[in-house]
Amino acid sequence: MKTRARAVHFGCALVLTVVSSAEARAKDTGYVFVSDEKTNNVAVIDPKQDYKIIKWIPTSHRPRDMKFRDNHTLLYVACGDDDVIDVIDVATLEVADHIPTGPSPEMFELSRDGKALYVSNEEGSSVQEIGIADKIIMREIATGAEPEGIAISADGKTLYVTSEVTDMVHVVDAEAGVVTDNIVVGTRPRRLLLLHDGKELWVSNELSGQVSVIDRAVNRVSTTLDFLPPGFRQADVTPVGMTMTSDGKSAIVALGRANHVAFVDTATRKVETYVLVGSRAWGVALSPDEKTLYVANGLSDDLSIVDVGSRKAVRSVPVGRVPHSVLVDD
């Protein structure tokens, strides 16, 4: 019995050691992940190795939105043409699992307790709540046609979902699973950005070339931001991806076919500067120290590296075809 007990103890210790080792390898890699819609892979870039692509991770078809889970040990990737979310092990940089979804998942969010996914299904005109542990679709919430952007409030009680066709943002009671309000915004709303103070929700409107600022207290648009980089026409401005500095003072908006990103003062809502990047600037992400901005350019098939201090693009890194989203492991 003592020998068996020692063996069991040793086995448990070995498992814990392996798990701890995997977590250690996955933690703080600093890797930059870029999903490529047409080459069906995720490029893994190491800034510490002069932005070398250290791995191409094959995925299911048409990888788009990405999110980290479990202290950045797992990377979830929505794959629109295979109706799944791939689960990538960050330690091994391999796809370890798949979570089935409805038709054409594009953007998604994790619930605040990390137990469920809220997935916008573009072709199904719905948002699905999927349990991560059992992979069961717990609820399906009807939305307007072609839902895309999705955001969740800090308390986890409210979801916001863009509908590209109806030009609306749907307000969803997460507990009840019903739409409680519809906010009319610009033409073809794509992505959402909740400001840190919780008072405003920004919406990028691709075809009207603007960002709508929603006052969350009354669920109405309080103001609209316009963009016009030098040398471009208003019709060229197609904003999509957005991010924000940790102090909440600056927002960064990718301007699509205008081939620029805009740095915006969130207090004054004025454009501070435009930075020329690649063709059809789409997804954006900041490095952990916020000294570097990464921009996925969907038509030039590259990643722009922007020095935030000088507000200039300093280089580009070729990636796969039609890069969609960029995410940084911090």
Q: Kindly report the CATH number assigned to the domain that includes residue 281.
A: 2.130.10.10
Torsion of CA 28, 32, 38, 39, to 10 degrees: -70
pLDDT of residue 330: 84
Average the pLDDT over 171-185 and give the result.
96
CB atoms within 10 A of CB 27: 14
Is residue 78 over pLDDT 50?
yes
Tokens of 134: 């059992």
CA distances, 11 to each of 4, 14, 91, 123 (Å): 10, 5, 22, 47
Number of domains in the chain: 1
pTM of the model: 0.91
- Identity (one letter) of the amino acid at 158? T
Tokens of 296: 């996925």
Q: Put the strands of the sheet holding 281-286 in their side by side order.
A: 281-286, 292-297, 302-307, 312-318
3-class SS of residue 173: strand
3-class SS of residue 51: coil
How high does pLDDT run on average in the chain?
Answer: 92
Is residue 61 over pLDDT 60?
yes
CB atoms within 10 A of CB 141: 21
Stretch among 11-25, 101-115, 151-165, 283-297 having the lowest mean pLDDT: 11-25
Query: How would you classify the pairing of strands 41-46 and 292-297?
Result: unpaired
Residue 317 sits in which domain range? Answer: 2-328
Tokens of 53: 């692509």
CA distances, 112 to each of 27, 101, 119, 236 (Å): 21, 20, 14, 37
CB 183 within 8 A of CB 217: no
pLDDT confidence tier of residue 27, bands split at 50, 70 and 90: low
